[in-house]
Amino acid sequence: MIRGGTCPRCRTGEVLAVLRLPRSWTNTSGSLVRGTRDVLLCAACDADDPLAGPVVTYFAVHGRARPQDAALLAACLLRWIAGARPAEPDERALRAEAEAWRRGDL
């Protein structure tokens, strides 16, 4: 998917692309659970990323995907996709939230 909405990380940048990756895990019952995990490309968060930067620059210059640039934009997106990885959970934030929940602060 290309373009849509405000970034949930920074709440200011525009989401320029979403890469949906398959994800599976085994639950406590031993069953395989299949799902997806999204990797967002944000105009603000990812502007300095070497793989996402060209896509951010493209939309900053042109504002939208232009038919005459399809090959260029596809090449930029494919470079980003090749290196895109889902964000890892912030263990410290998760522990702090769990502790706040135990204290009854949530």
- What residues line the site for Zn ion (CB under 5 A)? 7, 9-10, 13, 42, 44-45
Q: How far is the CB of 89 from Zn ion (least distance, A)?
A: 17
Nearer to Zn ion, 8 or 83 (CB): 8
Q: What is the rounded CA–CA span in Å between residue 90 and residue 23?
A: 18
Nearer to Zn ion, 70 or 87 (CB): 87
Note whether 4 and 15 are within 8 A (CB): yes
Select from 95, 57, 91, 61 the least CA-distant residue to 76: 57
Q: What is the rounded CA–CA span in Å between residue 104 and residue 106?
A: 6
Nearer to Zn ion, 6 or 36 (CB): 6
